[in-house]
Amino acid sequence: MEYLKLNNDVEMPIEGLGTFLMTPAEAEAAATAALAAGYEHIDTANAYMNERAVGRAIAKSGIALSAEMKARAQAANALLESGEGAGNDFLGWVHLPSSISDAEIAAIEATAARLRSKADLVICIGIGGSYLGAKAVLEAMSDPFKLLHREQQEPTVVFAGQNISEDYIHALMEASKEHSIAAIVISKSGTTTEPAIAFRLIKAEIEARYGKQEAAQRIVAVTDKARGALKTLATNEGYETFVIPDDVGGRFSVLTPVGLLPLAVAGVDIAALVRGARQMEQATGTDIPFDENPSAIYAATRNALYAEGRKIEILGSYEPRLQYVNEWWKQLYGESEGKQGKGIFPASVTLTADLHSMGQYIQQGERTLFETIISVAEPVAKVVIEADKENLDGLNFLAGKRISEVNRMAELGVQLAHVDGDVPNLRIEIPQIDAESVGALLYFFERACGISGYLLGVNPFDQPGVEAYKKNMFALLDKPGYEEESKAIKARL
């Protein structure tokens, strides 16, 4: 049984996610184990360990959640079900995991199989919520050195349309010449400029190579059921089309064909991903008491911290494969909460790499931060550090240990140091990086985001601020219909 714990007084059995914060007793035990394992080289942690104060150190980061905050979080969670909160026309994601049918998954897998049979390079075109979910899961599930293997088992999935870089698209088009290609073009609105530009180029390349008829077999669109230029284009060209439900916003759409189709093409077990999310949907429902609902606890905790002046949350992990989960999370929380002059600024680090860049700031910079660590209980692989006869590097004290043991002690040492440095720490543990755990993690964050946005008093499901740059860009580019704005903006230059 996995456990998810928060602070010192909340402990709950939950599948898929593990520990938030250790209790003092557990911290003490971990510290004792660390000392026994010879980790006296972790200075700050060692200081605590020697003083046997490790429990207190961690307890210091405990955030007392008032009964009122708990009740508000429960009420916010209930709004996600009742649909009586702001943005209630975008709540389709709440029950996506439990409502996706086997037939829908089979249809996505069938299309993925067609694309896989035709192409060894599938270009996935989209931006924001139409990009980050697939990218996050794909990076998490992939061998980071896949491209170094001479034999490729799965087609390579790459992304385009998430920027307007001429060099990026040029490099992609050049590299694609060495491959058979297919494309998935994703845009809910069907009018977003970045993916539209990329798709124009990639569509032309596919048509030039294979002819229009075959292009229609190699291009799949994921878009609105009726509206937008992409829908019109897909209908005219005869592309197979998957629908993004009206009531699911981009950043909550990873469990629709937006995320599932590219992931199925890449060989990810999407049924397992959905299964994990479904377990988390059950574990975070309104029938679950606050103290057992991980999303409610996380949402309430971060809001309590925000109220105390912690305006920046850093999400981090000691597994580089989770780096794009951080990016997905940043969009989810940044776009959902950053409005009306409010919101926790979502930042991220990948550890231990960023300890050598951001570590100094986190330890001693402005005390407006708190940190949430996604901790992975068990690596998939096993690598043991061997003893070395000469021991010139002085590392023989690690001989016989797995790399993951060192990583874990680094994590513990950093947590202690940061707590000591007055950076409250939350810890989310997943058993392993596999499709089911990642599915659970994504839904956990989505549900918490909805609750957290309501606690903050904003509509978590709109993004009015995103329009400002588009208006300026179109005016600067003389888009028809923007004549007045063009004149006004050019006068400012």
Rule CB under 6 A: which residues touch ligand PA5? 127-130, 187-189, 192, 195, 249-251, 335, 463
Across 218-228, b (16+ Cβ under 10 Å) vs e yields bbbbbbbeeeb
Concatenated DSSP letters of 91-160: -GGGGHHHH--HHHHHHHHHHHHHHHHH-SEEEEE--GGGTHHHHHHHHHHS-TTGGGSSS-SS-EEEEE
Number of residue whose CB is nearest ligand PA5: 250
Residue with tokens 């105390």: 308
Q: How far is the CB of 128 from ligand PA5 (least distance, A)?
A: 3
Residue 412 · residue 30 · CB < 8 Å: yes
Q: How far is the CB of 380 from ligand PA5 (least distance, A)?
A: 31
Q: Minimum Å distance from CB 22 to ligand PA5?
A: 35
- Report the residue number, 62 or 129, with the smaller CB distance to ligand PA5: 129
Sheet containing strand 425-430, edge to edge, reads 345-350, 312-317, 369-376, 425-430
CA-closest candidate to residue 374, choices 339, 311, 325, 302? 325
Least separation in angstroms between CB 185 and ligand PA5: 10
- The C-alpha atoms of residue 340 and residue 83 are separated, in whole angstroms, by 22
Closer to ligand PA5 at the Cβ: 205 or 335? 335
User: If you ran DSSP here, which 8-state letter would residue 293 be given?
Assistant: -
Q: Which of these is catalytic: 149, 151, 177, 356?
A: 356
State which residue, 3 or 474, has the beta carbon closest to ligand PA5: 474
DSSP 370: E
Catalytic residue among 470, 471, 487, 490: 470
Q: Rounded to the nearest whole angstrom, what is the least distance from the CB of residue 106 to ligand PA5 in the complex?
A: 25
Helix (H) or strand (E) holding 208: helix 193-218
Task: Give the shortest CB-199-to-ligand PA5 separation in angstroms.
Answer: 11
Return the residue matching tokens 């909340």: 10
- The least CB distance from residue 338 to ligand PA5, in Å, is 12
Peptide bond preceding 352 in cis form (omega within 30 of 0): yes
Shortest separation between residue 225's beta carbon and ligand PA5, angstroms? 13
Instruction: Tell which residue, 432, 426, 301, has the closest CA to residue 373.
Output: 426
Beta bridge partners of 201: none
Residue closer to ligand PA5 by CB (options 283, 332) is 332
Q: Residue 129 or residue 413: which is nearer to ligand PA5 going by CB?
A: 129
Instruction: Verify whether residue 487 is a known catalytic residue.
Output: no
How many other CB atoms are there within 10 angstroms of residue 55's CB atom? 20
Residue 16 or 249 having the CB closest to ligand PA5: 249
List, in sequence order, every beta strand (DSSP E) within 274-368.
Answer: 312-317, 345-350
- What is the spatial distance between Cα 233 and Cα 238, in angstroms, rounded to a whole number? 8
- In terms of CB distance, is 130 or 404 closer to ligand PA5? 130
CB nearer to ligand PA5: pick between 189 and 368? 189
Q: Can 170 be counted among the known catalytic residues?
A: no
Angular region, 442: left φ>0, alpha ψ -120 to 50, beta rest = alpha
**Long-range Cβ pairs for the range 94-103 (8 Å, 24+):** 94/281, 94/447, 94/450, 95/281, 96/248, 96/255, 96/256, 96/277, 97/255, 97/274, 97/277, 97/278, 97/280, 97/281, 97/439, 97/443, 98/278, 98/281, 98/282, 100/255, 100/274
- Using the minimum distance from each CB to ligand PA5, give the nearer residue, 90 or 290: 90
Is 335 an active-site residue? yes
Is 56:24 a contact under the CB 8 Å cutoff? yes
Question: CB of residue 147 vs ligand PA5: minimum separation in angstroms?
Answer: 27
Catalytic residue (choose from 28, 205, 335, 446)? 335
Active-site amino acid positions: 335, 356, 470
